[in-house]
């Protein structure tokens, strides 16, 4: 829970200081890209966050690039040949 609170505090502080829609203002940046996997984990594990962070996560998940990334991930095989080794 401490990690979740730390992340949501960072999100709220950035969104409040620089304005929506992204962490540092009107344009997406590397900070938003860095938190893309976090937004997916919050959704996957049903992490409840405040309304501002939920809106930011929803905005992140609605990006065409995120939809493409998720669709491509769903097409990947569950088996990874390189990891099939006998010990």
pLDDT 10s digit of each residue in the chain, 87 long? 799 999 999 999 999 999 889 999 999 999 999 999 999 999 999 999 999 999 999 999 999 999 999 999 999 887 777 766 666
- Break the chain into its structural domains and give their ranges: 2-61
The answer for residues whose C-beta is within 8 angstroms of residue 61's C-beta and 6 or more apart is: 39, 40, 43, 67
Q: Is the pTM of this model over 0.85?
A: no
């Amino acid at each position: 829970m401490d990690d979740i609170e730390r992340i949501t505090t960072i999100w709220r502080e950035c969104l409040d200081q620089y304005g929506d829609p992204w962490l540092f203002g009107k344009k997406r940046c590397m900070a938003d890209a860095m938190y893309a996997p976090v937004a997916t984990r919050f959704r996957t594990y049903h992490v409840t966050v405040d309304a501002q962070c939920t809106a930011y996560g929803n905005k992140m998940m609605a990006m065409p690039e995120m939809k493409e990334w998720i669709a491509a991930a769903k097409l990947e095989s569950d088996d990874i040949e390189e990891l099939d080794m006998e010990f």
